[in-house]
Amino acid sequence: MQSKIGYYTLAALLITVVSSAAAAQGWPSRPITLVVPFGAGGSIDIPARRLAAELTLKLGQQVIVENRSGANGNIGGTYVAKSTPDGYTMMFAPPGVLATNRFMYRNMPFDSDRAFAPIILLGKSPMVLSANPKVPVSNLQELIAYAKANPDKLSIGTPGIGSQAHLAMELLQKSGGTRMNYVPYRGAATSGADAIAGQIDLTVNFTPAMIGPLRDGSLRGLAVTTLQRSKQLPRIPTVSESGFPGFEAVAYYSVVAPAGTPRKIIRTVNSVINDYLESDIGKQHFEAGDIQAAGGTPEDLQRFVAGEVAKWGPIVKSAGIAM
């Protein structure tokens, strides 16, 4: 009886392998779905749609962006994790789905390390820490000194509990030994507006939304969170330059597929996206969105995510962030 079970199990495995190989040979023969696990029109959706247009052009099949938002990306992530690994479903993945949600959600619907096959890290988006001009600081060092001298006095707006901006400030406060009060918002726009109005002292947002207020003096830029300075706001130093060497807290954009997707398909998509990052149109897209291009191999993305998991796990746990 056991030998028959083993035979049938082996036969089923062989059929799966052969089917995947056959699918890879003729791929793509129909439209591809690129899942964005957040709503349309946002900071994640826009670069995803630009990438989809490029993939459509280079692969010869339409790449359709499908928004499946909810639970900080877990709704879309679950859909992709359970999809057939045939190269026709992929995800434009933000940090939460791959690295940080596992520490915040008590019941994760998938194991991020096993559910997805890495394809490529596209790029990183800087966030900028800004202050209302009435706050008596002009740079990050002065902010840290002021916050230490006035614990729990300063208020800082972030786009939601557990957002990348929230985690960035948790890391900065732990590194700097400060205590500031968080004011969570439903989105970045409202926190920026309240900082301008003086309803809160500080805000952390992605740079594109803050360029206008920072240039016209409505807000004062203190530091950006990438290792490199923002091309759109080159006068604002990085946190790493401002007394915290090696500090990096970014939103990043990557592409993954369901685990088991044929390697040939993964290599093909990786190559096309690397070419896009090096192209003039790709550079224009990334500069417009103030995204710092990355690229590389699937293994590079896997290593990067592992580093993010190691970085943010202790921060989330010490902050007691739970959903």
| pLDDT on residue 21 | 53
User: Would you say 114 and 108 are in contact if contact means Cβ atoms under 8 Å apart?
Assistant: no
Please count the other Cβ atoms lying within 10 Å of the Cβ belonging to residue 141: 16
Does the fold of domain 127-242 match that of domain 2-124+251-319?
Answer: yes
The pLDDT tens digits of the residues spanning 30-76 come to 999 999 999 898 888 999 999 999 999 999 999 999 999 999 899 99
| pLDDT on residue 83 | 98
Q: Which of 164, 159, 220 is nearest to 184 (CA)?
A: 159
Q: Which of 267, 262, 294, 238 is nearest to 47 (CA)?
A: 294
Single-letter amino acid, residue 57: L
Report how far residue 231's alpha carbon sits from residue 291's, in angstroms, rounded to the nearest whole number.
Answer: 9
In 26-137, where does DSSP find H-type helix?
Answer: 45-59, 74-81, 95, 101-104, 112-115
- 72 Rama class: left (phi>0) / alpha (psi -120 to 50) / beta: left
**DSSP state letters, 180-235:** -EEEE-SSHHHHHHHHHHTSSSEEEEEHHHHHHHHHTTSSEEEEESSSS--SSSTT
| pLDDT on residue 15 | 53
| pLDDT on residue 60 | 97
- For the chain, how big is the Rg over CA atoms in Å? 22
| pLDDT on residue 323 | 84
Q: Which CATH architecture has domain 127-242?
A: 3-Layer(aba) Sandwich (3.40)
| pLDDT on residue 197 | 97
Report how far residue 21's alpha carbon sits from residue 13's, in angstroms, rounded to the nearest whole number.
Answer: 12
**CATH code at 2-124+251-319:** 3.40.190.150
Strands (E), the chain: 32-36, 63-67, 89-93, 116-125, 127-131, 155-158, 181-184, 202-206, 220-224, 251-258, 292-293
| pLDDT on residue 159 | 84
Mean pLDDT by 10 residues, the chain (323 residues): 50 50 78 95 90 97 96 95 98 95 95 97 96 97 98 93 92 95 84 95 91 95 96 96 96 96 98 98 94 97 97 94 88
The pLDDT tens digits of the residues spanning 150-172 come to 999 999 999 888 889 999 999 99
CA 37 remoteness from chain centre: 11
Work out the angle between the directed axes of helices 164-176 and 298-319 (0-180°, nearest 10).
Answer: 70
Domain range summary for the chain, segments of one domain joined by +: 2-124+251-319, 127-242
The CA angle 146-134-199, to the nearest 5 degrees, is 100
- 120 Rama class: left (phi>0) / alpha (psi -120 to 50) / beta: beta
